[in-house]
């Protein structure tokens, strides 16, 4: 690119975020190391601004256009906000018996979080930054360097609070944790979370993102995950943000040897959302499964962008993403599998499937395989189609009304990504699967017309 | 008393000009088993699809009264709720939709349409298990997705299972004998015969006399070029078997 010399006109959002940093940075917790990271991220943002369509990775989600203004940074939640938060937290909890870890407007609220099982510690990020925990700033710096992602950098710039969950080596956790992240008002919310599963440990973590309808809040959240040697992490995520919300989530996962990582995201919320997954095998004989079910209607826009990095030999990855689009919604799937030159015996299979329920939606699929080793099995596929008319007729001929028949077929379509999620580490897996499938059916039955 | 009265039914393939049913008239009496026989391309399957409400066909004239009400303006699910059942010649496989989920959705949808409460789960399970057993449908088949991994014969038995659970007023069996060996044919025929009642009628569409040895018809109609050209007793099927369709069609012309 030869545009370096040109300073693009700043959008309102970019100007507001730059100004906010100037005003707020002295309040941010932590010492010189973390301040240096924030300043570097700020310099980058000042130079490049929000990603736009000429930035290859953001081609289909032009954030500069989709986010014209930035809301003010989240301040301390007021009384009304707290009462709304209580309601949203309770909605997110549903009937799950998981231990809640509550984040309100980006801040970890220890007092609302549950009692932890043995071997699990939870620390507020803000406290850890004040205490100068080097592992945290190192993890941030590493992710910055490795992925060079503009929204992760923006998150680093506003690095303030979040939660750090450590599972001690050898701990088999029988209770699920549930990170419940709520936003109560039209804020720009940043949060950063860290989950480290020690060698031989296993845990199930659910994550819910909820917020009020009709409020155009903005959330930019990053989750770092380290799955240690022989460890297992099963991670189920539900994004049901308010209908006007902007939601950007990045997952950075480092998978050690003989480890197992399974992550599923079900997306129905937000006006604009992007779910980024940066997953890397750092040890051999590990398995990762990345899945998603996205259901969009009206003018919703949701993007799933993943990079699965097979940096070592003998690992297996599965990427399975299902998208259901109605009205004039827009879906994006960008999936890249990288196989390093020495990563022989890699087995990677990626699939993106879409069902269009109307003539208006749009789906962009961009699968990429970058294979530098010769003894590997890698495949990708994508399909875009409508519900099968013959099957619809068969169901209807048995008396099942049109709408219900569509719901049955769409649930069946989503089922493939949900039914074998988890291998028993998440304690409430049956309830979770049933709830997620139920949410697909509810979404279908709530369609107008 | 007639249960299904089809008058002057004219239909074509939706996107083409090709007319398949040409003013078809047919009356099915209550409690009657009527066989419809005819050569390939005579419109047998079209008749069954048009009655069930498949989109691929367009009705251009006529009516089909089920218990006095014209079903042709209805959607397929409304026709089912009104008491019509079509056993498909080629039942569909529906990956991801469990057999029990499907059966329950169908039973409850029809019950709701008739203003009845939904069936209670224990009653439903008991009902399905009982009917499935009569048709030699094992628990493993009930656990699978609808028709997925079923043999041709199993799919046909599954159609009869659905029919027995939905208890229609009129059941149309579209070449239910195709692809069945003798043992499977017997099971299917027994399933149908168990459901015969003075209140229920069957329209058995077939090419061959063989099925009619097991499901004895009260009346046999011959369909040719989209019209019933001859009707008679069970002996008509034997005549067709002996002399072929050409003979009958010629005489009718």
Q: What is the mean pLDDT of residues B174-179?
A: 90
Does A371 touch chain B if contact means CB atoms closer than 8 Å? Answer: no
Place A95 in a pLDDT band, splitting at 50, 70 and 90.
confident
pLDDT score of A8 more than 80: no
Residue window 56-75, chain B: list those with CB within 8 Å of chain A. Answer: 75
CA–CA dist B35, B222 (Å, integer): 8
Task: Kindly determine whether residue B101 and residue A400, on different chains, have CB atoms separated by under 8 Å.
Answer: no
Res. A343: pLDDT tops 70? yes
Question: Which of A306, A446, A291, A321 has the alpha carbon at shortest distance from A384?
Answer: A321
| Residues B64, B28 contacting (CB under 8 angstroms) | no
Q: Are strands A232-240 and A260-267 parallel, antiparallel or unpaired?
A: parallel
Nearest CA in chain B to A406: B97
Chain B stretch 149-208, residues whose beta carbon is closer than 8 A to a beta carbon of chain A: 162, 166
Q: Which residues in chain A are contacts of B166 at CB distance < 8 A?
A: 398-399
Sign of CA dihedral A30, A36, A39, A45: negative
Interface probe, candidates B56, B57, B77, chain A, greatest A C-beta count within 10 A: B77
* DSSP H or E stretch at residue B105: helix B99-113
Average confidence (pLDDT) over A81-107: 93
Q: Do A398 and B80 touch (CB under 8 A)?
A: yes
pLDDT tens digits, A277-310: 999 999 999 999 999 999 999 999 999 999 999 9
CA distance linking residue A237 with residue A251, whole number of Å: 11
Q: Which residue has the higher pLDDT, A148 or A219?
A: A219
Residue B149 burial by Cβ neighbours in a 10 Å radius (0-12, 13-18, 19+):
exposed
CA–CA distances in Å: residue A40 to residues A36, A45, A52, A249: 6, 9, 20, 21
Query: Nearest 5°: CA angle at A183, between A361 and A207?
Result: 75
Q: From CA A332, how far away is CA A358, in angstroms rounded?
A: 17
Which residues of A fall within a CB distance of 8 Å from B145? 412
Rounded Cα distance between A387 and A380, Å, is: 22
Pairing outcome for strands B2-13 and B19-29 = antiparallel
Q: Quick one: DSSP state of residue B74?
A: S
Query: What pLDDT does A6 receive?
Result: 55
H-helix or E-strand spanning residue B62: strand B57-66
Task: Determine the pLDDT at residue B1.
Answer: 83
Q: Does B237 touch chain A (CB under 8 A)?
A: no
Q: How far from chain centre, in Å, is Cα A198?
A: 22
The H or E element that residue B26 is part of is strand B19-29
Helices B152-166 and B182-195, interaxial angle, to 10°?
0
Residue A390, chain B, CB below 8 Å: the answer is yes
In chain A, residues with a C-beta closer than 8 Å to the C-beta of B53 are 393, 396-397
Task: Tell me, yes or no, if A413 comes closer than 8 A to chain B by beta carbon.
Answer: yes
> Nearest residue on chain A to B168, judged by CA atoms?
A398
Task: Give the closest of A394, A400, A412 to B95, CB-based.
Answer: A412
Distance from C-alpha of A419 to C-alpha of A411, rounded to nearest angstrom: 11
Residue A9 pLDDT: 84
Nearest-CB residue to A401 (from B96, B109, B145):
B109
The Cα A77–Cα A79 span in angstroms is 7
A416 touches chain B (CB under 8 A): yes
Q: Do B55 and A409 touch (CB under 8 A)?
A: no
**Looking at residue B200, what DSSP letter applies?**
B
Confidence of residue B23 (pLDDT cuts 50, 70, 90): very high
H or E segment and range at residue B189: helix B182-195
**Under a CB-based contact definition with an 8 Å cutoff, are residues A293 and A436 in contact?**
yes
pLDDT value at position A5?
A: 53
Residue A256 · residue A199 · CB < 8 Å: yes
- B73-109 pLDDT, tens digit per residue, is 999 999 999 999 999 999 999 999 999 999 999 999 9
Contact between B101 and A394 using a beta-carbon 8 Å cutoff:
no
pLDDT tens figures, A123-137 = 999 999 999 999 999
Q: What is the pLDDT of residue B38?
A: 92
pLDDT of residue B179: 83
CB A221 within 8 A of CB A102: no
Q: Does residue A385 surpass a pLDDT of 50?
A: yes
Which residue, among A397, A404, A434, A441, would best test binding to B if mutated, counting the most B CBs under 10 Å from its CB? Answer: A397
pLDDT at B195 over 60: yes
Model confidence, pTM: 0.93
Q: Any bridge partners for residue B70, and if so which?
A: B65
Nearest CA in chain A to B105: A400
The answer to whether the Cβ–Cβ distance between B94 and A398 falls below 8 Å is no
Q: What does the alpha-carbon distance between residue B213 and residue A396 come to, in Å, rounded to a whole number?
A: 32
By three-state DSSP, how is residue B73 classified?
coil
Tokens 């009705």 belong to residue: B59
| Measured distance CA(A208)–CA(B224) in Å, rounded | 63
**B8 band by pLDDT with thresholds 50, 70 and 90:** very high
- Picking from B81, B95, B101, the nearest residue to A399 by CB comes out as B81
Q: How far is A266 from chain B (nearest CA, A)?
A: 18
Cα first-last separation, chain A: 48
For residues A65 and A129, the answer to whether their CB atoms sit within 8 Å is no
**Is there a contact between B109 and A399 if contact means CB atoms under 8 Å apart?**
yes
* CB contact A434 to B (< 8 Å): no
Instruction: Flag if B80 and A415 touch (Cβ within 8 Å).
Output: no
- Taking residues A11-40, what's their average pLDDT? 95
Distance of CA B170 to the CA centre of its chain: 8
Mean pLDDT calculated for residue range A348-372: 97
Residue A408 contacts B where some CB pair is shorter than 8 Å: yes
Residue A195's Cβ-count burial label (10 Å; 0-12, 13-18, 19+) is: buried
HEC profile for chain A?
A: CCCCCCCCCCCHHHHHHHHHHHHHHHHCCCCHHHHHHHHHHHHHHHHHCCCCCCCHHHCCCCHHHHCCCCCCECCCCCHHHHHHHHHHHHHHHCCCCCEEEEEECCEECHHHCCCCCCCEEEEEHHHHHHCCCHHHHHHHHHHHHHHCCHHHHHHHHCCCCEEEEEECCCCECCCCEEEEEECCCCCEEEEEEEEEECCCCEEEEEEEEECCCCCCCEEEEEEEEEECCCCEEEEEEEEECCCCCEEEEEEEEEECCCCEEEEEEEECCCCEEEEEEEEEECCCCCEEEEEEEEEECCCCEEEEEEEEEECCCCCEEEEEEEEEECCCCEEEEEEEEEECCCCCCCEEEEEEEEEECCCCCEEEEEEEEEECCCCCEEEEEEEEECCCHHHHHHHHHCCCCHHHHHHHHHHHHHHHHHCCCCCCCCCCHHHHHHHHHHHHHHHHHCCCC
Q: Is B242 on the interface with A (CB under 8 A)?
A: no
Does B105 contact A404 at a Cβ distance shorter than 8 Å?
yes
Query: Does the CB of B54 have a partner CB in chain A at under 8 Å?
Result: yes
Q: Which residue in chain B is spatially nearest to A407 when comparing CA positions? A: B97
Determine which of B49, B55, B74, B76 to mutate to test the interface with A (most A C-beta atoms within 10 Å): B76
Contacts of A411 in chain B (CB under 8 A): 96-97
The helix/strand/coil state of B184 is helix
Q: How far is CA B83 from the centre of its chain?
A: 12
A–B: how many Cβ contacts below 8 A? Answer: 77
CA A409 to each of CA A105, A249, A352, A440, B158: distance values in angstroms, whole numbers, following the listed order: 37, 29, 17, 10, 19
Helix (H, G, I), strand (E, B) or coil at B7: strand
Distance from CA of A287 to the nearest CA of B (A): 25
Is B105 in Cβ contact with A408 (below 8 Å)?
yes
CB contact under 8 A, A391 and B75: no
**Average pLDDT over chain A, rounded to an integer:** 95
The answer to whether the Cβ–Cβ distance between B109 and A402 falls below 8 Å is no
Contact list in B for residue A406 (CB cut-off 8 A) is none
Closest partner residue to B76 (CB to CB) among A393, A409, A412 is A393
CA–CA separation, A289 and A3 (whole Å): 39
ipTM: 0.97
State how far residue B198 is from chain A, nearest Cα, in angstroms: 23
B55 Cβ under 8 Å from any chain A Cβ: yes
d(Cα A282, Cα A315) in Å, to the nearest integer? 10
Please tell me the distance from the alpha carbon of residue A379 to that of residue A373, in angstroms, as a whole number. Answer: 14
Query: B118 CA to chain A: closest CA distance, Å?
Result: 13
Structure tokens at B68: 């006095």
Q: Residue A1: which pLDDT band, with cuts at 50, 70 and 90?
A: very low
A398 touches chain B (CB under 8 A): yes
SS3 for B33? strand
Using DSSP, state whether B147 is helix, strand or coil.
coil
């Amino acid at each position: 690119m030869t545009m370096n010399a040109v300073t693009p006109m700043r959008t309102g959002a970019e100007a507001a975020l730059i100004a906010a940093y100037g005003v707020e940075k002295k309040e941010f917790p932590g010492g010189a190391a973390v301040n240096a990271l924030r300043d570097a991220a700020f310099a980058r943002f000042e130079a490049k601004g929000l990603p736009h369509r000429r930035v290859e990775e953001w081609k289909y989600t032009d954030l500069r256009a989709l986010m014209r203004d930035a809301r003010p940074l989240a301040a301390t939640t007021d009384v009304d906000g707290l009462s709304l938060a209580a309601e949203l937290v309770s909605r997110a909890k549903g009937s799950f018996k998981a231990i809640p870890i509550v984040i309100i407007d980006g801040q970890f609220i220890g007092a609302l979080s549950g009692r932890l099982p043995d071997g699990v510690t939870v620390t507020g990020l803000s406290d850890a930054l004040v205490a100068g925990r080097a592992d945290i700033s190192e993890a941030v710096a590493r992710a910055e360097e490795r992925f060079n992602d503009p929204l992760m950098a923006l998150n680093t710039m506003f690095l303030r609070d979040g939660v750090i969950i450590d599972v001690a080596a050898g701990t088999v956790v029988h209770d699920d944790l549930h990170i419940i992240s709520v936003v109560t008002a039209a804020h720009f919310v940043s949060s950063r979370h860290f989950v480290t599963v020690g060698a031989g440990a296993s845990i199930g973590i659910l994550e819910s993102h909820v917020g009020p309808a009709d409020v155009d809040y903005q959330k930019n959240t990053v989750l770092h995950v380290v799955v240690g040697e022989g460890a297992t992490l099963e991670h189920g995520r539900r994004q049901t943000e308010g209908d006007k919300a902007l939601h950007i989530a990045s997952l950075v996962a480092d998978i050690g040897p003989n480890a197992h990582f399974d992550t599923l995201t079900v997306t129905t919320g937000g006006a604009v959302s992007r779910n980024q997954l940066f997953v890397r095998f750092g040890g051999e004989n590990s398995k990762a499964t990345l899945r998603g079910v996205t259901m969009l209607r009206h003018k919703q826009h949701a993007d799933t962008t993943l990079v699965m990095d097979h940096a070592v030999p003998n690992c297996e990855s599965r990427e399975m993403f299902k998208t259901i689009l109605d009205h004039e919604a827009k879906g994006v799937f960008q999936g890249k599998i990288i196989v390093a030159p020495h990563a022989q015996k890699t087995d990677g299979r990626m699939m993106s499937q879409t069902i269009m329920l109307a003539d208006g939606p749009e789906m962009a699929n961009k699968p990429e395989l970058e294979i530098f080793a010769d003894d590997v099995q890698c495949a990708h596929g994508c399909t875009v189609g409508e519900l099968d008319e013959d099957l619809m007729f068969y169901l209807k001929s048995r008396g099942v009304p049109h709408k219900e028949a569509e719901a049955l077929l769409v649930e069946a379509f989503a089922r493939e990504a949900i039914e074998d999620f988890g291998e028993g580490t998440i304690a409430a897996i049956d309830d979770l699967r049933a709830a997620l499938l139920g949410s697909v059916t509810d979404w279908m039955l709530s369609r107008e017309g | 008393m007639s249960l299904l009265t089809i008058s002057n039914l004219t239909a074509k393939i939706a996107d083409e000009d090709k007319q398949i049913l040409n003013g078809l008239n047919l009356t099915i009496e209550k409690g009657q088993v009527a066989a419809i026989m005819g050569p390939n391309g005579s419109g047998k399957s079209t008749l069954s699809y048009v009655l069930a409400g498949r989109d691929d066909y367009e009705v251009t004239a006529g009516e089909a009264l089920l218990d006095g009400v014209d079903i042709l303006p209805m959607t397929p699910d409304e026709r089912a709720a009104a008491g019509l059942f079509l056993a498909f010649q080629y039942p569909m496989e529906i990956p991801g939709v469990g057999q029990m989920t499907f059966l329950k959705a169908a039973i409850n949808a029809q019950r709701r349409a008739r203003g009845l409460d939904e069936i209670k789960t224990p009653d439903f399970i008991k009902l399905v298990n009982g009917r499935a057993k009569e048709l030699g449908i094992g628990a493993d088949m009930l656990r699978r997705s609808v028709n997925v991994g079923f043999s041709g014969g199993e799919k046909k038995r599954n159609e009869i299972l659905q029919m027995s659970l939905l208890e229609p007023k009129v059941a149309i069996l579209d070449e239910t004998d195709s692809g069945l060996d003798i043992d499977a044919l017997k099971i299917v025929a027994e399933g149908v015969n168990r459901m015969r009642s003075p209140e229920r009628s069957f329209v058995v569409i077939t090419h061959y006399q063989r099925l009619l040895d097991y499901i004895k018809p009260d009346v046999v109609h011959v369909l040719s070029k989209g019209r019933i050209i001859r009707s008679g007793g069970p002996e008509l099927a034997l005549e067709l078997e002996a002399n072929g369709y050409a003979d009958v069609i010629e005489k009718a012309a």
